[in-house]
Structure 1
Amino acid sequence: MPRVSQCLALLAVMSTTGVQAANQEIRALFQPDPSQPSKNLFVNQTPNSGYCASYPVQCANANMFSIQLPVRFDSNRAIVPGDDLSLRVPVAWRRLTVTNTDTQETEDVEVRITGIGSRYILSNTVEELTGVVHPSGHDVLWTSRAGWLYAPAPCLGTGVAGYTATLYHFFWRMPVEAACTKTAAFGIPSMYFQGIDIAYELKTPNPLSMSSGLYTGSITYTLGSSGDFQMGSMMDADDDSLTLDFVLDVQHTLKVEIPPGGNKVVLEPEGGWQGWLEHGRRPTRLYRDQLFHISASSKFTMKIECEHDMGFGNGCGITDRETGYVGAVNVSVSLPNGLTDSTGQPVRRMPLRLTPSSPFQPGIYVDRKPGTLHFEVDQRDVNWLIDNARDKPYKGNITVIWDSEVG
């Protein structure tokens, strides 16, 4: 029976480390989907927190998710009328390297921040600051006479906000890397932003070209009035930096099924032995094509192992155990569409050796598609076997190995 080395999954995870730094874990997972064999994307596994946890319908409609960062920004002085609170985040794509913890293979990941939100909390009620009760007091607190539900250009609002007399929960989408500014219309003795909610996008590598396992990596941003994340020139962060720790979890499939009885291969001439037995016509070859079904989402190699090694490093034999006469058996494989060789060509009757083949590569997830193992004794060895037959069968075990542990 063939032996198959089973490949398991990918996922991107963020760990928490650091001194005077905030950390956030981000996870992404790839598992092949038989119903969508062409889908080769990682799926976000990081639970929603912050804004999208509070307003899941709005986020679902915008195809957006958010995470809340354990960061606080406090005003370092009183805010006076005319002061700007300018919010800015790293919208441009940034690249990081993730490394397979077992194989040390590396891949590039890109990340960008696409939105920011928070809860601003005031030292006084909006009625005390403006003379107007909430929610209208939050609107008149700023010169645009509109609360933070309405994002200033170039930012975009999300249509829903939450508030109390001293708190306002907002979220802005940021399509470009530029400051989005609100200007105070009244004085505010002090205020702070409690937690930062961010939305982000990832560009991940093609998981079909990656080995199974966990790929980890991190990227660090600066926080504060001149940092990557800014909440206003007078707003100081309680951490100097923010580190996002990623783990991409790749969980591949490699499964081979041989039909019942397919492990016993009988080599015969085309049309059977009648031509030889009745008319003395020597067969030109002995062969058998053995069907198998394969499911594969990652690279794999194939090789053979022999009970009777022919001694040339590449072939197996079948032998008459009484006389010791041996004939060579050539083994090759044809793989289904969607699986190619290392040069991108279809695999048709590719010889298998005692050493591993070059990796076969799926272009899509191949789910239980038929392939063929070809076993053949060529004419020279057929003549040898017939001439030395003693009414005893020639036998030998050949093991075919599909191996996803590609180095």
Structure 2
Amino acid sequence: MTIGTHADTIFQRLRWAVCALALLAGTGNAAAADIYISAEFKPSTLNPDKREFVNTTPWSGVCNSTHLQACINNNWWSIDTKIRGTKQAINQANYGRNGFYIGMPDARTVRVTSDDGVHTFDLGFNIIGAAMRLVDEDRDGPLEPASVGNPSNCNRGLSNASAQNRSTMRMFLRRDGGHGVVACALHWQATNNYLITELDFTYKLTTPEPLGMPSGVYHGVTTFTVGGTGEGTDFDLGNGVALDDRVVNIHFELDVHHPFELELPPGSERAVLAPKGGWTQWSDHGIVPQSLERELPFTISSSGQFSVSLQCEYPLPDGRCAMRNTTKQADDAPLDVQLTLPGFRVASTGADAVGLALTTTMAPPIFTTQSLAIRRPSQLYFAVNGDAVRNMLDHAGSRYRGDVTVIFDADP
């Protein structure tokens, strides 16, 4: 007697999606400056435990020059705001607003939303420093117009000390890590008119946990204002400031690339059920097997979330699939389908994905992992159990079959 079940495993909407931090052009104030910060999460088989976004923002500002290596070594990432203007400086030894002065804002939380509008996550954005380059407008000031001492309230990160070109550039680094409002200043600045030829900030991103984010691209935006004394702006450049722009729109893009791949051995499209150990006990001794079963192995590679659902050619009211006798009139045989994914967990409960029963009536479970799983051995288990086996054997010589479709959705 041959008893079989035909199991077509269909994989729908499987895509190699990219998760990272990317930026889109905004539609803000036409007079505003727009800058872009991007990062991506793209797991690698060479480093499967890596769980962080990688900053993919092009270098700009003071780091995009002779200071690039110093910025790389210290993990400083500067962005040029593109805001330009002038500064009327006055030589005063009081760390005041008339000199080289930059006030910086508190940390922010930016909401990023997936392109389809379904998923949202929070991104922490900290201004950890700022830099400004001032150039003597009339070229008649001192060769070294800025003080060489430490700034107030901040540490000095970079400078153009000994440039002797009647310009000054300093990068201030906050001592508080980017939390709270702080103002940094040099002890003095030569009295003169200066061109603001560069205004940058240095930042730190606190990204969401990428393994918990569905694949896709996420966008967000935040806006900072820039001005002088008494204007109540986020970035305060002190007294004597005239700017060509006063608004900076910062656009973020998180680009998440989760690989997803299933590999099934040849012949997996067909599962023939049989007793464990073979038919000898039944054929020689008439002992009815406790179950007719078949395990189908496969491997899965994934770092993101995915769901699994079940469809049946012959569905039963309790959500199980059935096998139908195709040669004789007989009751349908209920088929139990179980899924085992070692190293994966059910996202809603945290339970290990071991021997998980699949039915058509259940909400498709979503699975997650703590690292990139590479060709993880997994199993689908099919079985007819108990009295249903005896009922099938009452129709020896006939054939039972039924199509079962297991759907892995990499974009749940």
What TM-score, normalized to structure 2?
A: 0.87
- Cross-structure match for 2:313: 307
Counterpart residue identity of residue 368, structure 2: Q
CA distance in 2, matches of 1:11, 1:38: 17
Deviation of 1:168 after TM superposition, in Å, equals: 3.2
User: Where in structure 2 are there 5+ consecutive unaligned residues?
Assistant: 1-7
Summarize deviations over 1:152-192 as a string: whole Å, max 9, x none. 1332223552745233343232233422212446421x112
Which residue of the other structure, out of 118, 121, 136, is the alignment partner of 2:135? 121
SS in 2 for 1:295: strand
Deviation of 1:371 after TM superposition, in Å, equals: 1.4
Summarize deviations over 1:29-67 as a string: whole Å, max 9, x none. 112222333322111111111211102211111122212
Summarize deviations over 1:98-137 as a string: whole Å, max 9, x none. 1112142211111011121232111233xx434xxxxxx3
Alignment of 1:78-117 (within 5 A): 79=90, 81=92, 83-90=98-105, 92-117=106-131
- Cross-structure match for 2:263: 257
- Cross-structure match for 1:179: 183
CA distance in 2, matches of 1:155, 1:57: 22
Counterpart residue identity of residue 317, structure 1: A
Alignment of 1:191-340 (within 5 A): 191-225=194-228, 226-310=232-316, 312=317, 314-325=319-330, 326-340=332-346
User: Where in structure 1 are there 5+ consecutive unaligned residues?
Assistant: 131-136
CA distance in 2, matches of 1:151, 1:114: 17
SS in 2 for 1:129: coil
CA distance in 2, matches of 1:69, 1:245: 12
Deviation of 1:375 after TM superposition, in Å, equals: 0.5
How many pairs align? 386
CA distance in 2, matches of 1:360, 1:186: 63
- The answer (yes or no) to whether the contact 1:40–1:207 under 8 Å persists in 2 is yes
Taking structure 1 as reference, are residues 103 and 324 closer, same or farther at Cα in structure 2, changes over 3 Å only? farther
CA distance in 1, matches of 2:408, 2:222: 37
SS in 1 for 2:118: coil
Which residue of the other structure, out of 372, 377, 389, is the alignment partner of 1:370? 377
Alignment of 1:334-353 (within 5 A): 334-353=340-359
- Cross-structure match for 2:14: 6
Identity %, equivalent residues? 29
CA distance in 1, matches of 2:222, 2:318: 48
| Residue range with higher mean Cα deviation, 11-20 or 343-352 | 11-20
- The answer (yes or no) to whether the contact 1:85–1:182 under 8 Å persists in 2 is yes
Summarize deviations over 1:54-94 as a string: whole Å, max 9, x none. 0221111112221212101312x56355543321222x321
CA distance in 1, matches of 2:370, 2:249: 34
SS in 2 for 1:346: coil
- The answer (yes or no) to whether the contact 1:318–1:328 under 8 Å persists in 2 is yes
CA distance in 2, matches of 1:358, 1:104: 18
Deviation of 1:349 after TM superposition, in Å, equals: 1.2
Taking structure 1 as reference, are residues 341 and 185 closer, same or farther at Cα in structure 2, changes over 3 Å only? closer
- The answer (yes or no) to whether the contact 1:309–1:317 under 8 Å persists in 2 is yes
- The answer (yes or no) to whether the contact 1:294–1:370 under 8 Å persists in 2 is yes
CA distance in 2, matches of 1:66, 1:2: 50
- The answer (yes or no) to whether the contact 2:85–2:195 under 8 Å persists in 1 is yes
| Residue range with higher mean Cα deviation, 157-166 or 215-224 | 157-166
- The answer (yes or no) to whether the contact 1:216–1:245 under 8 Å persists in 2 is yes
What TM-score, normalized to structure 1?
A: 0.88
When the two chains are superposed, the root-mean-square deviation of aligned CA atoms in Å is 2.1
Counterpart residue identity of residue 178, structure 1: V
- The answer (yes or no) to whether the contact 1:27–1:248 under 8 Å persists in 2 is yes
- The answer (yes or no) to whether the contact 1:73–1:231 under 8 Å persists in 2 is no
- The answer (yes or no) to whether the contact 1:316–1:330 under 8 Å persists in 2 is yes
